[in-house]
A and B are shown apart, each in its own frame.
Chain A
Amino acid sequence: MAEAMASPNPSGGFFHRLANPARFQRLSAWLMPWLVLITLGCFGAGLYYGLYASPIDYQQKDTVRIMYVHVPAAWLAMMSYSTLAISGFVALVWRHPLADVAGAATAPIGAIFTFLALFTGAIWGQPTWGTWWVWDARLTSVLILFFMFLGYIAIRNAFDDRARAGRAASLLAIVGIVILPIIKFSVDWWNTLHQPASVSKLSGSSMDPAMLRPLLIMAVAYMALFGVLLLLRMRLELTRRRVEALQMARAGAATP
């Protein structure tokens, strides 16, 4: 890793190899219709079950329906951060140009999912806990996750040199991975108002199948949408870099 980071000429040549990422474009073109189909189908079914064809909770009444948009958002927030950290690692260690592109493409998606988890959680908290927000470990750690996505985006925009920005942002993403176990186990390590895990437990899920169904369908819908957004934003990032490279080449040719 240190060897890769200490490479003497990081900015030149490296991104020009992106010029023809044909394999990615082919794979993405093949995947896209499937992902769109899964997204539409699962959102349709998930909304039907979540809003209509599922029972109300004996305590929470209808507010339990917020779970079907809240919990998958939180899962996707964490999945997005894993993607960010993994692509940062691959970008730093193997200097794979597509990994850097994937990181840049993931950050805004992750920020949106994290915001949605926080926002829908606040709306759910008011009728069930009697408060929009508490500074408990789960809520606070997810808020930190949100700021980490924003920090990642800020770092990427803070450098003129795209390669340096990419390395700094990748490093932040890798170091920040400690937030994921903190979020996951925050409900066990600390006394929190947020309820502990009820879907993924060693003893099996403690949730009623009629509620688990819409939750899992919505989770698949969110994941497929994440895939669609990621592929589109990677295409966008690649096109932008290509435009930049061409503009640079023109500027270089104009002033030899």
Chain B
Amino acid sequence: MTEDMSPLMSFFHMGGYWPYIWPAYGVVAVLLIGLLVWTLVALKRSKLELEALEALAPRRRRRTETSPAGGPDDAQP
């Protein structure tokens, strides 16, 4: 069977081990690209959120930077 295959076919055939090799490479590609895309989407979203917040209170932003602590975090036991 391997004798009369085109070069492209025999490349995908991987000497008969294609059911192992391609899923291994596939999972690596899907998860690594997936992690990258997920990170980029989340980054975009939180940047938009930050911009919206800063547009809401442009002056308050300066104050929180210089004020010591503050916020409900400190009220916790």
Known A61-B15, A65-B21, A123-B20: A108·B35 in contact at CB below 8 Å: yes
Task: Establish whether residues B73 and A248, one from each chain, have CB atoms under 8 Å apart when the complex forms.
Answer: yes
Question: Which residues on the A side are within 8 Å of B32 (C-beta)?
Answer: 112, 116, 225
CB distance from A11 to the nearest CB of B (A): 5
Complex contact B39–A229 (CB within 8 A): yes
Pick the contact of A243: B27, B49, B69, B76 (CB < 8 A).
B49
Q: Is the CB of B43 within 8 A of A232?
A: yes
B68: chain A residues at CB < 8 Å are 12-13
Main secondary structure of the interface of A (DSSP, over half): helix
How many chain A residues sit at the interface, stated as a range, is 35 or more
CA distance A16 to B67 in the complex (A): 9
Q: Which residues of B contact A9 (CB under 8 A)?
A: 69, 74
Chain B residues positioned under 8 Å from A119 (CB to CB): 24, 27
CA distance A132 to B65 in the complex (A): 54
By a beta-carbon cutoff of 8 Å, the part of chain B in contact with chain A is 11, 14-17, 20-21, 23-25, 27-28, 31-32, 35-36, 39-40, 42-43, 46-47, 49-50, 53-54, 56-57, 60-61, 63-65, 67-74, 76
